Amino acid sequence: MLAEIITIGDEILIGQIVDTNSAWMAQQLNAAGIRIKQISSISDDKEHILKALAEAKQRADIILITGGLGPTKDDITKKTLTEYFNVGFVENEEALENVKRIFAKYNRPLLEVNRQQAQVPANCEVLNNQNGTAPGMWFNQEGKVYVSMPGVPHEMMYMVEQQVLPKLKATFKLPFIIHKTLLTVGEGESFLAERIADIEDALPAHIKLAYLPKLGQVRLRLSGYGDNEAALQQDIDNYAALLTDRLGKVIAAEDDIALEKAIMNKLEERGQTVSVAESCTGGYIAHLFTQHAGSSATFLGGAVSYSYELKESILGVKNETLWQHGAVSEETATEMVEGALLNFKSDYAIAVTGIAGPGGGTDDKPVGTIWIGVAGKGKTLVKKFTFGNKRKQNIERTAITALGMLNTLLTRE
């Protein structure tokens, strides 16, 4: 069963808002056994909308539309749908009562433009909007289902969960779709592909393998499609086990989670902790840890020590080390990570120091020169890296590389 998502609104196309609706809907549909064929964002233009609907009809069984249902003149989706289906408007009593209820709740006068929200195409089934005035609309036309919903995320989400998905499940016989994601660290996708080529070649037609690379990480996603859920799950588990056995320590997690979350899970299982000593990343590594609920179980905190003075006073870096070798050096990175272990009393520590850019580089230490140290359980590993000249990318690369090094240290132990 194939679906297409169409988001309507000039505000999306000019970058004024980010289209989070499509990603969320795709996740919900996929979990229900509906595969997404295409996602499109189009302008508030009648001809553009008509063309998009006609093309989507050729590709998909289900067309989901969001946006353009407001009461103002720039919201033209509903009117365009009447033209597409060649029908007129009717007033829906349930939708009108919903509009009246909302305006009465806030003691606001009901204007004619708001009353017109209850005007819907004659061939639609109304989906009541519990969180707004614009009703959703369900069309079943020539074996295709069209669903038009508000673009406001919380209105759309409630409608999808409470009404659209149950109706789709009742209308179509949906297959099962099962995904299994393995997170790998420290090896590029081409090297991974070469190592597992025979396993990938042996996959049956109903199971696909995707490579999803991102800054020092590659997620391997197995996706299976079928009518027998138990048999499909067994197939996915078997091939995931083959990949895990083949790749060994390259596997950081057997779930679709972030690298820092995988590290925290390992630490929590062992009853261990980690701290950080950050210079060039300015607290970004700490942010990666603390964005996850429950991070306090394993992440103790740390220091953002930009200056020589703070490296000395907080981390215990020797004054002569800094003046002799500089802040961006193996010696300083070593003393930073070992100082974090000692002073913050954690089981493991990460330290980073470098030149993020775009300025500050020298001939012997160009922009992008980064030293990273990880330590714990009597082991210290310090490495030099040379990244590019983009500050934001250098910060992100440093953080992910540091986490990868820590994951390697944890895996070895």
Q: What is the CATH number of the domain that holds 132?
A: 3.40.980.10
- Domains: count for the chain: 3
Nearest-Å Rg of the Cα atoms of the chain is 27
Confidence band (pLDDT; 50, 70, 90) for 387? very high
Q: Name the DSSP letter for residue 187.
A: S
Over residues 382-391, the mean pLDDT reads 96
319 and 202, same structural domain?
no
- Asked if 264 and 221 sit in the same domain, the reply is no
Q: How far apart (Å, rounded) are the C-alpha atoms in residues 44 and 75?
A: 7
Domain boundary among 171, 190, 216: 171
State how far the Cα of 327 lies from the Cα of 321, in Å rounded to an integer: 8
At residue 301, the pLDDT reads 98
Among residues 66, 70, 16, the alpha carbon closest in space to that of 42 is found at 66
- What pLDDT score was predicted for residue 166? 96
Q: How much helix, strand and coil, in percent to the nearest 5, is found in the chain? A: 45, 25, 30
Instruction: Tell me if residue 373 falls in helix, strand or coil.
Output: strand
Same-domain check for residues 275 and 386? yes
Query: What whole-number distance in Å separates Cα of residue 237 and Cα of residue 198?
Result: 17
Same domain, 246 and 336: no
Residues 38 and 144 placed together within one structural domain of the fold: yes
160 and 186 in a common domain: no
pLDDT of 313 reads 97
In this structure, the answer to whether residues 9 and 144 fall within a common structural domain is: yes
Which CATH number is 399's domain given?
3.90.950.20
Cβ neighbors of 143 (< 8 A, separation 6 or more) are: 61
The confidence score (pLDDT) of residue 215 equals 85
Query: Which pLDDT belongs to residue 115?
Result: 87
Strand ranges (E), 243-377: 251-253, 274-278, 299-304, 348-354, 369-376
What local confidence, expressed as pLDDT, does residue 183 receive?
97
Rounded to an integer, what distance in angstroms lies between the CA atom of residue 400 and that of residue 352?
Answer: 11
Please tell me the predicted confidence (pLDDT) of residue 306: 94
Are 149 and 159 a contacting pair, CB within 8 Å? yes
CATH number at residue 202: 3.30.70.2860
Distance between CA atoms of residues 68 and 134, nearest Å: 10
Q: Hey, is 308 helix, strand or coil?
A: helix
Whether 405 and 374 map to the same domain: the answer is: yes
Task: Say yes or no: 141 and 273 in one domain.
Answer: no
For CA atoms 395, 401, 402, 404, give the dihedral sign.
positive
Measured CA angle at 399 (ends 395, 403), to 5 deg: 170
Residues 193 and 219 sit within 8 Å (Cβ to Cβ): no
In this model, does residue 198 exceed pLDDT 80? yes
Q: What is the pLDDT of residues 290-346, one digit of tens each?
A: 999 999 999 999 999 999 999 999 999 999 999 999 999 999 999 999 999 999 999
- CA 253-264-196 angle, 5° bins: 15
* Amino acid type, 190: S
Provide φ and ψ at 262, rounded to 5°: -60, -40
Cβ pair 219, 209 in contact under 8 A: no
pLDDT over 80 at 413, yes or no: no
Of 253, 278, 301, the one marking the end of a domain is 253
Give the range of the structural domain holding residue 233, as residue numbers without chain letter. 176-253
Return the pLDDT at 303: 98
The Cβ of residue 158 has, within 10 Å, a number of other Cβ atoms equal to 20
Query: Looking at the structure, do residues 183 and 230 belong to the same domain, yes or no?
Result: yes
**What pLDDT, on the 0 to 100 scale, is given for residue 80?**
97
Question: Per residue in 111-136, is it b (16+ CB within 10 Å) or e — as a string?
Answer: eeebbebbbbbebbebbebeebbbbb
The DSSP output letter for 123 is: T
Domain identity same for 279 and 361: yes
Tell me, what's the pLDDT at 96?
92
Q: Above 80 in pLDDT, residue 272? A: yes
Same domain? 57 vs 202:
no
Among 127, 145, 171, the domain boundary falls at 171
Question: Cα 205–208–214 angle (5° rounding)?
Answer: 165
Instruction: Name the DSSP class of 297.
Output: G
What span, in angstroms and rounded, lies between the C-alpha atoms of 350 and 402? 7
| pLDDT tens-digit series, residues 2-15 | 999 999 999 999 99
Helix (H) or strand (E) holding 22: helix 20-31
For residue 243, count CB atoms less than 10 angstroms from its CB and return exposed for 0-12, middle for 13-18, buried for 19 or more.
buried
Mean pLDDT of the region 213-236: 94
